[in-house]
Amino acid sequence: MKRVVITGMGIWSCLGTSIEEVKDSLYNGKSGIGIEEDRLKYGYQSALTGIVKKPVLKGLIDRHLRRGLSEEAEYAFMASSEAFRMAGIDESYLDANEVGCIFGNDSSAKPVIEAAKIMDEKHDTELLGQSFIFQAMNSTVTMNLSTIFRLKGANFTISAACASGSHSIGLAYMLIRNGLQDVVLCGGAQETNLYSMASFDALGAFSKNMDNPAEASRPFDRDRDGLVPSGGAAALILEDYDHAIARGATIIAEVTGYGFSSNGTSVISQPSDEGCLRAMKRAMEDAGVTASDIDYINAHATSTKQGDMFEAMAIDKLFRGEHALVSSTKSMTGHECWMAGASEVVYSIIMMQNNFVAPNINLKNRDEFSEHLNLAAETVETEINTVLSNSFGFGGTNSALVIKKFA
C-alpha cells in the first residue's frame, strides 16, 4: 500500500478566506456567526448563520465558465486555487498529469428554486438559459472544478449529508493508497443562501439565541439549544508520497486512517454512539494507532442535544483516561454541513502546524455526558502529532479520519 500525504490545502469560510486568516481566528477563538435578517422575513425560525464572504471571480475565470458556477462551486474554486498554489501545482502540471477531483456536496438549492420560479411565472424553458443545469446538480462542484482546471483523473461527488467532506478525503485516500491515482483534489463545499437551509430550519434544529450570535453555537454545553448553519468550502491536495517527493513538493501532513460506518437504526435523524464508535475504531485500526497515540480529537459536535450527547458517549468509551484534547470548531464556525468534514481537517492541520488546540468556545457548563472528556475550553498551546477528526450525518453515515504530522 502507498503512503498518502497532503501537499496543499485551501479554505474559504466564515473564519476567513486564507490559511493565515483562519489560523488567527482559530487561535483567538473568534466566532464567524452573525445574523441574516432576510431569513426571518422568508419564514425561518432563526436568522443565525455563518457569515461567509462572497468571492469576486471576475478576472479569475472566463465569464462563460463563471455562468455554470453555483454559490458553493465559487467557494470551492477559491479554496482549490489556494490548495493548488500551496502544493506547487500549476497549469503546466495539470496539463501534463492526471489529477482527480472528489468533493462532498449534498445540495444546490438556489438554482433549483430560481429556475422553478421562472418556470412558474413564464412557462418557457428557453428563458432558463444554459447555466441553471450546471449549477443545480449535486455534482456542480466537481463538474465545474474539473472543467476549469482541465483535470483528467477521477471526477465524482460524494453525497453523504454532513459527512460528505470527510468521506471525500477518505475516498481520495483509498484511491491513492491503492495506486489508482497519484494526486487528487478533494474537499467539501456548502451553500449559505437562505433557500439552502429552510427545510433544515423546519426541524427546529437551529439555535434561537439571536441576541448573542457569537455565543449561539455551544457544543457540549448543558444549555445548548441547537446548531447554527454555515458554509463555504475547503480543499486539500492528497498525493502519493513517492510522487510528492519526486516532484519536490512540501509535505504538510499525512492521512493514515479512514473509518466509516452506518448506524443501523430505524430513525433517519437518530444519532448513535455505537455507529460513531465503529467509525473511530476503524480509522484508528487502519492507521495502526491506539487511543494513547491521539493528541487531539476534532469532534463533530454541532451543538444539538442528542448529537453531542451520543458523540460524547462514544468518545468517552474510547478515550476516558487518555490525554487527547477535544474541541468542536463548530463552536466558532457553526455547522458547515457538507463541507464540515473537509474544513475541520484543514483546521486540525493548521493547529498541528502551529502547536495549539483551538478552543471549544461558549463552554460554560458541561453536560453530564461530556464531563469526562478532556475538553479545551480555552486555546491550549501544545504539540499535536496525531489527530482524529469525526464527521457524522443524517441517515446514519459516519466518517472518521486520522491525520498525522509528517515525519
| pLDDT higher than 90, residue 90 | yes
The reply to whether 125 falls in a domain is yes
Which DSSP string do the residues of 40-55 spell out, in sequence order? Answer: HHHT-S--EEE--PPP
Does some domain include residue 270?
yes
Predicted local distance difference test score (pLDDT) of residue 112: 96
Do 167 and 36 fall within a single domain?
yes
335 catalytic? Reply is yes
What pLDDT is stored for residue 147 in this prediction?
97
* 216 and 289 part of one domain: no
Q: What is the pLDDT of residues 339-388, one digit of tens each?
A: 999 999 999 999 999 999 999 999 999 999 999 999 999 999 999 999 99
CATH number at residue 232: 3.40.47.10
Answer with the one of 246, 267, 298 that is the final residue of a domain. 246
Query: What digits encode the pLDDT tens for the residues 161-192?
Result: 999 999 999 999 999 999 999 999 999 999 99
The residue-averaged pLDDT of 48-55 equals 98
Nine cell digits for residue 253: 501532513
**How far is the first Cα of the chain from the last one, in angstroms, to the nearest whole number?**
18
Say yes or no: 229 and 355 in one domain.
no
Q: Out of 14, 186, 276, 335, which one is annotated catalytic? A: 335
CA angle 28, 228, 135 (to 5 degrees): 105
- Clarify whether 162 is annotated catalytic: yes
Category of 232 on φ-ψ map: left (φ > 0), alpha (ψ -120 to 50) or beta: left
Cell matching residue 125 = 424553458
Residues 237 and 279 in one domain: no
Instruction: Give the C-alpha separation, 114 to 136, whole Å.
Output: 10
pLDDT at 6: 99
Residue 254 maps to a domain: no
- Phi first, then psi, for residue 190 (nearest 5°) are -145, 125
* Torsion angles phi and psi, residue 87, rounded to 5: -80, -10
Residue 321: the pLDDT is 94
Statement to judge: residues 295 and 393 lie in one domain: yes
Catalytic residue among 101, 162, 276, 337: 162
Question: Which residue range forms the structural domain that includes residue 390?
Answer: 259-404
21 & 107 share domain = yes
Task: Find the catalytic residue in 14, 101, 276, 300.
Answer: 300
Calculate the average pLDDT of the chain: 97
pLDDT-based confidence at residue 407 (cuts at 50, 70, 90): confident
Question: Would the pTM of this model clear 0.95, i.e. be above it?
Answer: yes
Render the burial of 336-363: b for 16+ CB within 10 Å, e for the rest.
Answer: bbbbbbbbbbbbbbbbbeeebbbbbbbb
14 annotated active-site: no
- Same domain for 183 and 50, yes or no, is yes
Has residue 94 been placed in a domain? yes
Pick from 231, 235, 253: which is nearest to 244 by CA?
Answer: 253
Asked whether residue 251 is domain-assigned, the answer is no
Beta-bridge mates of residue 187: 103, 235
Average pLDDT over residues 47-68: 95
Over residues 45-72, the mean pLDDT reads 96
Question: Got the DSSP string for 154-207?
Answer: -EEEE--GGGHHHHHHHHHHHHHHTTS-SEEEEEEEE--STTTTHHHHTTT-B-
What is the C-alpha to C-alpha distance for residues 45 and 240, in angstroms, rounded to an integer?
Answer: 47
Residue type, 405: K
Domain count, the chain: 2
Q: With 90 as the cut, is the pLDDT of residue 266 above it?
A: no
Average pLDDT over residues 217-241: 98
Last residue of a domain, one of 246, 278, 311: 246
CA distance 244 to 262: 34
Mean pLDDT confidence for 6-22 = 98
pLDDT in tens, 97-110: 999 999 999 999 99
Task: Name the one residue in this structure whose C-alpha cell is 481520495.
Answer: 172
Q: What is the mean pLDDT of residues 15-27?
A: 98
